[in-house]
């Protein structure tokens, strides 16, 4: 198995032992129960755990390969995707939008929602309702957060695609409609933006931020219409 040292992916006893081992070393290890289960989880009478560990290879953090989803179970994919989502949230709050974007894309890859994924190949992975619902819930959050990152990075066409993917998961999601509207505005598609923003406003009529964006979009369209009329009038008067 492979894991990142210090990431909390294995028990504390392994972490401590591996930190002092050399590549290729084989060690017999006895781990006290509190370093396996945690002190709060240890019941009376639980003895030490014994392992045999062999350190096959050590890679710098930058060279640790990202897991291949086909080699993982549904549970492993869900857990790793949730970790990537949380990592993305941390980066986003820190203003590191590119790093946040990459983390959300990693999560979507693990969930089978990358742009070029054939959904038919995923049908055999998510066999029960709980897994399917959890997958969809995490994917929706990632698409919405990814869209917000792309807006910050001014990657408007990609933001439109991400918001549209979120709407495929939840067609009445006001955040997805609102953010797609903002992305359409950024991409210069004010009419499409008005449609999305109006739909978001109908879903959340008391949301002042959505109403302001819709009014701004309508003013922009009115200005464009006036400019077009003036340009045509000037052309025809020649």
- Residue 172 sits in a domain whose CATH number is 1.25.40.10
Specify whether 24 is located in the same domain as 141: no
- What's the sign of the alpha-carbon dihedral 198, 202, 208, 210? negative
Higher confidence at residue 153 or residue 43? 153
On whether the CB atoms of residues 97 and 154 are closer than 8 A, the answer is no
On whether residue 3 sits in a domain, the answer given is no
Specify whether 21 is located in the same domain as 112: no
Structurally, the chain folds into a number of domains equal to 2
Give per-residue pLDDT as tens, 70-90: 888 888 999 999 999 999 999
Specify whether 47 is located in the same domain as 117: no
Residue 12 has pLDDT above 90, yes or no: no
pLDDT tier for residue 235 given thresholds of 50, 70 and 90: low
Phi and psi (nearest 5°) for 111? -85, -5
Mean pLDDT across the stretch 155-159? 98
**Per residue in 49-62, is it b (16+ CB within 10 Å) or e — as a string?**
eeeeeeeeeeeeee
Specify whether 231 is located in the same domain as 191: yes
Q: Which residues does 140 contact at the CB level (< 8 Å), separation at least 6?
A: 166, 169, 170, 173
Give per-residue pLDDT as tens, 171-186: 999 999 999 999 999 9
On whether residue 5 sits in a domain, the answer given is no
Specify whether 163 is located in the same domain as 45: no
Q: Is the pTM of this model over 0.85?
A: no
On whether residue 47 sits in a domain, the answer given is yes
- What's the sign of the alpha-carbon dihedral 177, 93, 108, 76? negative
On whether residue 171 sits in a domain, the answer given is yes
Specify whether 44 is located in the same domain as 156: no
Domain that holds residue 129: 73-236
What's the DSSP call for residue 27?
E
On whether residue 6 sits in a domain, the answer given is no
Specify whether 46 is located in the same domain as 132: no
On whether residue 35 sits in a domain, the answer given is yes
Q: Please write down the HEC assignment for all residues of 143-209.
A: HHHHHHHHHHCCCHHHHHHHHHHHHHHCCCCHHHHHHHHHHHHHCCCHHHHHHHHHHHHHHCCCCHH
Residue 36 has pLDDT above 70, yes or no: no
Specify whether 27 is located in the same domain as 142: no
Residue 154 has pLDDT above 80, yes or no: yes
Specify whether 81 is located in the same domain as 179: yes
Specify whether 83 is located in the same domain as 153: yes
- What's the sign of the alpha-carbon dihedral 29, 32, 37, 39? negative
Residue count of the chain: 238
Specify whether 17 is located in the same domain as 131: no
On whether residue 117 sits in a domain, the answer given is yes
On whether residue 196 sits in a domain, the answer given is yes
Specify whether 80 is located in the same domain as 55: no
């Amino acid at each position: 198995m492979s894991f990142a040292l210090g990431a909390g992916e294995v028990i504390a006893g392994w972490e401590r032992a591996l930190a002092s081992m050399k590549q290729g070393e084989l060690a017999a290890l006895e781990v006290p129960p509190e370093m396996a289960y945690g002190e709060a989880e240890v019941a009376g009478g639980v003895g030490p755990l014994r392992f045999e560990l062999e350190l096959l290879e050590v890679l710098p953090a930058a060279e640790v390969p990202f897991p291949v989803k086909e080699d993982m179970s549904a549970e492993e994919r869900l857990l790793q995707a949730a970790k990537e989502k949380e990592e993305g949230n941390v980066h986003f709050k820190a203003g590191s939008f590119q790093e946040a974007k990459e983390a959300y894309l990693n999560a979507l890859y693990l969930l089978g929602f990358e742009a070029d994924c054939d959904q038919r190949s995923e049908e055999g992975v998510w066999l029960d309702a709980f897994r399917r619902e959890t997958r969809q819930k995490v994917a929706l959050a990632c698409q919405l957060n990814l869209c917000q990152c792309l807006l910050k990075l001014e990657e408007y066409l990609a933001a439109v695609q991400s918001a549209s993917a979120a709407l495929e998961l939840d067609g009445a999601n006001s955040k997805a409609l609102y953010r797609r509207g903002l992305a359409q505005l950024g991409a210069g598609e004010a009419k499409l933006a008005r449609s999305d923003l109006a739909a978001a406003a109908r879903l959340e009529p008391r949301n002042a931020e959505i109403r302001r964006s819709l009014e701004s979009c309508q003013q922009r369209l009115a200005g464009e219409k006036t400019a077009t009329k003036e340009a045509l009038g000037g052309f025809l008067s020649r």
